[in-house]
Amino acid sequence: NAGVTQTPKFQVLKTGQSMTLQCAQDMNHEYMSWYRQDPGMGLRLIHYSVGAGITDQGEVPNGYNVSRSTTEDFPLRLLSAAPSQTSVYFCASKTQGWTGELFFGEGSRLTVL
Amino acid sequence: KNEVEQSPQNLTAQEGEFITINCSYSVGISALHWLQQHPGGGIVSLFMLSSGKKKHGRLIATINIQEKHSSLHITASHPRDSAVYICAVRSYNTDKLIFGTGTRLQVFP
């Protein structure tokens, strides 16, 4: 049972480059989300999705795009990376409703030079 | 002031000690989560609470909805408990998760 799988685990980009962080879950969860974790701050929500074809912005969406074409996959795209996007990124999923337990991926450490 | 405050920020203990980590919040919530993050590792859900108390092995989580406060207790602490413990609340109004900044625990043998 893989749970939530994130790739890549590490990535170094130059300013202006684009990349996609991949997230896949095999638990048939409707809800998927992306967070960034920065030193001294709590996890902050970037984008989330409550089902295939439905996405919405979180707290810090600028500079990031998402899509949800299937229940399993929720990729996060950086179209033009900036040094301010240097962070650790976590994908998480849960069943719908407030009772769902959260499942996190192992994180992706991104450095933008 | 953050909507979710954890204390202490850092905690060191000797193996075997009883540990308490506190979480206070200022918003109405539908649930509260306790999460564990090992150094360089992913994040694991420990508990989800909406009332009362839950226990898994040596871990106990309590919540007082009226006082907007939750505690995570670790009995007979062990060096493998060394991690960052994160409190997160699900806002009743927005249904969004709000995270605390975490408590870094180090348990020495």
Tokens of B43: 């994040």
pLDDT per position as a tens digit, B51-100: 999 999 999 999 999 999 999 999 999 999 999 999 999 888 877 888 99
Do residues A94 and A76 make contact, with C-beta atoms less than 8 angstroms apart?
no
Tokens of A112: 């933008």
User: Residue B83, SS3?
Assistant: strand
Q: Where are the beta strands (DSSP E) in chain A?
A: 4-7, 10-13, 19-25, 31-37, 44-51, 54-57, 64-66, 76-78, 87-94, 103-104, 108-112
Q: Distances in Å between the alpha carbon of A49 and those of A18, A43, A96, A99, B78?
A: 22, 17, 10, 17, 38
Question: Nearest CA to CA, how far is A75 from chain B (Å)?
Answer: 18
CA separation for the pair B53, B64 (Å, rounded): 9
* A99–chain B Cβ distance below 8 A for any pair: yes
- CB contacts, 8 Å: B101 with chain A: 40-42
Strand-pair category, A103-104 with A108-112: unpaired
- CB contacts, 8 Å: B50 with chain A: 98-99
* A105–chain B Cβ distance below 8 A for any pair: yes
Percentage of residues in chain A having pLDDT higher than 90? 82
In this prediction, residues A19-42 reach a mean pLDDT of 93
User: Residue B24, SS3?
Assistant: strand
Residue found under tokens 């295939």: A52
Contacts of residues B62-65 at CB distance under 8 Å and 24 or more positions apart, as own/partner, are: B63/B32, B65/B29
Instruction: Check residues A2 and B35 and name the one with the higher pLDDT.
Output: B35
pLDDT per position as a tens digit, A57-98: 998 999 999 999 999 999 999 999 999 999 999 999 987 666
Question: Nearest CA to CA, how far is A40 from chain B (Å)?
Answer: 6
Q: Given a cut of 80, is residue A100 above it in pLDDT?
A: no
Q: What is the mean pLDDT of chain A?
A: 92
How confident is the model at residue A1, as a pLDDT?
Answer: 59
Q: Given a cut of 90, is residue B106 above it in pLDDT?
A: yes
Question: Nearest CA to CA, how far is B87 from chain A (Å)?
Answer: 9
Q: What is the mean pLDDT of chain B?
A: 93
Task: Look at B101 and A41 and tell me if their CB atoms are within 8 Å.
Answer: yes
